[in-house]
Structure 1
C-alpha cells in the first residue's frame, strides 16, 4: 500500500515533468546544468520596522577555479535528494525507490530517519503530498538533465532522535532544550516547522546560483524550479502564519526562531548578517509571507552559505547536519578553501 502511494506520486510527478522534459529535448545531450538546491524554508526576525537589507552579492569563483554548469546541477541534485526524501517519508511513509532514483555515480548513501506524519489537518496532508510529488519530479528532472554523470544520493540524516539533524537544528534555534529532541514527524506543527527550515533556503540558493549558469536553456529551466520552490515556501509560510493565530501553537515564534538560527549559521557578517526573515513583521499581527529586500526582490545565498546551513556548521570542512558525509559534488569540495 505504501509503495502504491509512492508510485502514485511518481505518476503525478510525471505530469509535472512534461514541460521540463521539453527543455532537455531542446538542449540535446548537453551536460550543462541548472544551479541551486531546495531545502529549508526561510523566515526572519521581528525587525521589519527598519529598512530591509540589500541582497548579498553572488561572488564569482576565484581565478583558477573552474565551476561548470554540471557541477552546479549536481549540487542541486544533492539538495533535491534531501527534500524529496523528507517529504516522501512525511507524506507516504517511505523514501525514494532506491533502484531508479538514488543510484548513479559514486556510492549511494543511506537515509537515517523518516516516517509518515499522522496528519490531523487534511489540508496540511494534501499539501505534503503535493510538495512530495514536486520534489520527486525535481529529482527525476535533474538526473535526466545530467545524464550518466549524475551523482548518487549521499548519506542523508532526516532523523528527529538524539543524533538527528532536525534535533540539532531545533536546539540551535532553541525550539527545544539542550538535551531534548525534536521530532519532525510527530504532528502537523512539527512537520510545518521542519518544512519551513528547508523551503526558503532553496529559493535563495537557486537565485544565488543563477548568475553562475552559462546555458540559457538550463537557466530558464532553473527559473521554473525556483518558481516552484517559491510557491512551496509561500504555502508553508501562509499555513504557519494562519495556524499561528492561535498563540498556543507557537508556530510563528518557532518559525522566527528558525530564521534567527539560519542567520547565525550561514556565516555572513556586517550588513549582510541579518538577511533571513520570519513569518511576521514588526509585530505578530503583520504577516511576512514574501521575504524580500526593500525593492520586494528575494535575496540570494551563496553555495558556501547554503552548505553552512545544511551542514549545521559555520567552520570550513565537509559534512555534518543533514549530510553527515557531505554532499556528492565538486562544488562541495571547494567549500573547504572558501573559493566558492
Structure 2
C-alpha cells in the first residue's frame, strides 16, 4: 500500500480531540484509568511486578525488532541480542519480508532511526537483566501480515509495507511509539516496587521522546502522511474501545497536533486490555493476532 491511498471519510481530528477531552478531562479521570488498568492486570490471582515488567518486555521485543530490521536488515538474534527467556526457552520467530532494511534517503532520519533502534534494544536488555530468570521469551512476532490487516482496518488499502520508504517507516513507527507511551502511562501506578517504578518512568519518558520526534517528522512530511496518521489513530481508538480517544498528526485551530494530549496537557493512559486489543488487531485475549499471532508470553496476555 502507498500511504497516499487513504480513507477520506476517517473520523475528524476535531471530533477525536473533543471526545477524548470529555473522557479524560481531569486528574480524577486519569486515576480512574489507573483503576481500570489494575483490573486489566488481574489475569491471575496475584499479579506481580515481574508480570508487569514482562508485559513491557513483550512490547519492547516488538519495537526493537521493528527498528533493528528497518535500520540493519537483521533481527535481534542476528544482531547478537538474545530473545530467549530467562529459563532458556527459545524466542519465537519474526515474520517479515526479505531484504526489509529501509532505504533511507535522508541522512538525519537514518541517524535518528539508528538511535531509536539502539534505545529499544537497550530497553530489551535492561528488562531482561532486571527480570533475570523470570524474563519471558520473545513470542512469535509478525511484521508483515499485521500491517496489511491494520491498513485494511484503517481504510488505507489492502497492504502496507512499513519498510518500503521513509514515510512508510515513520507511519509504522507511529503505531508503536504512541501505543508504548500510553501503555507505560497506564502501568505506572500498578508497580509496587518504587525502584522498578522509577525505571519504568524512565523508559516511558524515552518512548515519549521517540513518539514526539516521529510525530514531528510526519507533520513535516505533509498532508498525505498526516491524513494516514489520522486514519491509523482512529483505528487504534476503535480497537481499544474508546471510539475516538486518539489523535493523529495534523493541524487544528491553527496549531499542530504533534503532542497527543488532553486539555490539561497530560498524556492519556491505556489499560493492558486496551493495549492488547490494538496489538492483537482486535483478536481475542490469550489467543492473540496481528503483531502477536500466538499472543504474548507471560501471565498478562
2:63 and 2:195 mapped to 1: Cα distance? Answer: 24
Q: Does the 8 A contact of 1:89 with 1:116 survive in 2?
A: yes
Tell me if the contact between 2:236 and 2:246 (Cα under 8 Å) persists in the aligned partners: yes
In structure 1, the partner of 2:266 is 297
**Alignment counterpart, residue 278 of structure 1, candidates 248, 267, 272:** 248
For residue 292 of structure 1, report the CA deviation from its aligned partner: 1.0
Q: In the alignment, does 2:142 pair up with 1:157?
A: yes
CA distance in 1 between partners of 2:213 and 2:240 (Å): 24
> Does residue 188 of the first structure (1) align with residue 166 of the second (2)?
yes
User: Secondary structure of the equivalent of 1:299?
Assistant: coil
Partner of 2:45: 65
Is this contact kept in 1: 2:233–2:247, CA < 8 A? yes
Q: Normalized against structure 1, the TM-score is what? A: 0.76
Deviation at residue 286 of structure 1 after TM alignment: 2.7
Q: Distance in 2 between matches of 1:266 and 1:310?
A: 10
Is the partner of 2:250 in helix, strand or coil? Answer: coil
For residue 57 of structure 1, give the secondary structure of its aligned residue in structure 2: helix
Give the corresponding residue for 1:119.
104
Q: CA deviation at 1:96?
A: 0.7
Give me the whole-angstrom Cα distance separating, in 2, the residues matched to 1:299 and 1:157.
27
1:46/1:96 Cα in 2 relative to 1: closer, same or farther (>3 Å)? same
Distance 1:316 1:64, change over 3 A: closer
What's the offset of the Cα at 1:317? 4.4
- 2:197 maps to what in 1? 219
1:239 correspondence with 2:213:
no
After superposition, the CA RMSD in angstroms is 2.0
- Cα distance, 1:280 vs structure 2: 2.1
Cα gap change, 1:45 to 1:103, in 2 (>3 Å): farther
What is the Cα deviation at residue 319 of structure 1?
A: 1.0
Q: Would the aligned equivalents of 2:81 and 2:121 in 1 still touch at CA under 8 Å? A: no
Say yes or no: does 1:207 pair with 2:185: yes
Residue from 133, 145, 152 that aligns with 1:171? 152
- Separation in 1, partners of 2:113, 2:103: 12
Return the offset for 1:45: 4.8
| Aligned counterpart, 1:3 | none
- Contact 1:196–1:236 (Cα < 8 Å) also in 2: yes
Q: Do the aligned partners of residues 64 and 322 (structure 1) sit closer, same or farther apart at CA in structure 2, a change above 3 Å counting?
A: closer
| Cα distance in structure 1, aligned partners of 2:162 and 2:299 | 30
CA 1:133/1:63 → structure 2, altered by over 3 Å: closer, same or farther? Answer: closer
**1:235–1:63 Cα change, 3 Å:** closer
The 3-state SS of whatever aligns with 1:229 is helix
Report SS of the residue matched to 2:33. Answer: coil
Q: Deviations over 1:174-229 (max 9, x none)?
A: 111xxx32111101011010000110110000010011100111101111100000
Which segments of 5 or more consecutive residues in structure 2 lack a partner in the other structure?
A: 1-10, 25-29
**For the Cα contact (< 8 Å) 1:101–1:139, is it kept in 2?**
no
Secondary structure in 2 aligned to 1:47? helix
Work out the CA distance in 1 between the residues paired with 2:295 and 2:284: 13
Question: Does residue 92 of structure 2 align to residue 109 of structure 1?
Answer: yes
- The DSSP-based 3-state class of the residue aligned with 1:165 is helix
Query: How far has the Cα of 1:318 moved from its partner?
Result: 1.9
